Amino acid sequence: MHKTFSQPPNPETLYQYLVKNFPGGTYHSAYEAGFCGYWIHNKLKSLGVSSMVVNPADIPTTNKEKDQKDDTRDSIKIARSLRNNELTPIYVPSLKTLEDRTLVRTRSMLVKDITRYKNRIKSFLYFHGIKIPDSLSNNSSHWSKHFTDWLEKIDMTEQSGKESLNLLITTVKILRVSLLKTTKQIKELSKTEFYKVNIELLRSVPGIGFITALTILTELENINRFGNIDNLCGFIGLLPSKYTSGEKDVTGNLTKRGHNVLRSAFIESAWVAARLDPALIKSYNSYCKRMEPNKAIIRIARKLLSRISYVLKNKQPYVFVIVK
């Protein structure tokens, strides 16, 4: 232990401190993965510092450190574990993958924002007792051009009410234009030489479209870094929690640890695949005889993940199996 101190969160400042106080030394650093991403890690490595980024849940922590958590204790805990070689670094993607991933995630964010504002408009209508016409009340008509035209023609008692509704409608329009533009950019990205072959392989698997395919490629980057399908399922979060003690053996729900973006994508794709792939249709129907559909679809998602892993590792398109 040298000493505990505070400094600006700047890699160059840390490096200058190390060079000044420990000239000619070999420098090692570790920090928790978080909102700041990997730029600090990349900068430290460029300065000659052996850096690693770790999952906060993987840092050995005593019960006292859990009850008395603060930045000072956390830094000492990480330094202690780094010195004892108790830390396992997480995988750090390339800069290209990180920036391509940002584009795909931005589209997902826009979809959520559009849904949020649509719900706000519905709440506005309910709050003011405005009933949606029967001709526009079904889901296929919602947010069509006719529905939007009807919204814009709604009369309110006061101008302030009309302006409030118009602002919500305008925001949805702007977001939809941004979504369309982002989707086109993602489509162009999927056609580049870097992704084209793997995109075609993934789209041969039922339930996988070009958005989901690019999501998989940018979130995983390298499928070969997973030794087996269990490791891949564990990373995504498609493994159940388990508690075994003596004669007690309990298998619970999905573990909380996982990759939320990929887990959602695979479960959503599994619902589609369970209607298209004869083998998965048969498996799904078999599972539903002894468990709830929501649990059965998790098993289908794992089977789908196995198919995706196979086509990417072997560079062979998926072939449907005829089930008798």
d(CA 262, CA 240): 16
Query: Hey, how many other C-beta atoms are within 10 angstroms of the C-beta on 186?
Result: 19
* Tokens linked to 61: 């922590």
Phi and psi torsions of 205, nearest 5°: -85, 130
Vertex 301 angle, CA 300 and 306, to 5°: 95
Record the pTM: 0.87
Burial of 151 from C-beta contacts in 10 A (0-12 / 13-18 / 19+): buried
d(CA 15, CA 5): 14
Buried b (16+ CB within 10 A) or exposed e, 39-77: ebbbbbbebebebbbbeeebbeeeeeeeeeeeeebbbeb
Q: Please state the domain extents for the chain.
A: 11-83, 95-190, 196-314
Contact 298, 254 (CB under 8 A): yes
The per-residue pLDDT for 153 is: 93
d(CA 233, CA 226): 10
The per-residue pLDDT for 9 is: 85
Q: In a 3-state reduction of DSSP, which class is residue 240? A: strand
Give CA separation, 28 vs 8, 34, 146, in Å: 18, 19, 62
d(CA 34, CA 56): 9
* Tokens linked to 244: 């075994």
Q: Please provide the DSSP assignment of 10-38 as one string.
A: -HHHHHHHHHHHSTT---EEEEE--TTTT
Tokens 């309910």 — which residue? 126
Non-local CB neighbours of 271 within 8 Å, separated by 6+ positions: 207, 297
The secondary structure of residue 224, as a DSSP letter, is G
The per-residue pLDDT for 304 is: 94
The per-residue pLDDT for 69 is: 85
Phi and psi torsions of 89, nearest 5°: -70, 150
pLDDT tens-place values along the chain, 324 residues long: 788 888 888 999 999 999 999 999 999 999 999 888 999 999 999 999 999 999 998 999 888 888 888 888 889 999 999 999 999 999 999 999 999 999 999 999 999 999 999 999 999 999 999 998 888 877 666 788 889 999 999 999 999 999 999 999 999 999 999 999 999 999 999 999 999 999 999 999 999 999 999 999 999 999 999 989 989 998 999 887 776 766 666 666 777 888 999 999 999 999 999 999 999 999 999 999 999 999 999 999 999 999 999 999 999 999 876 655
29, β-bridge pairs: 51
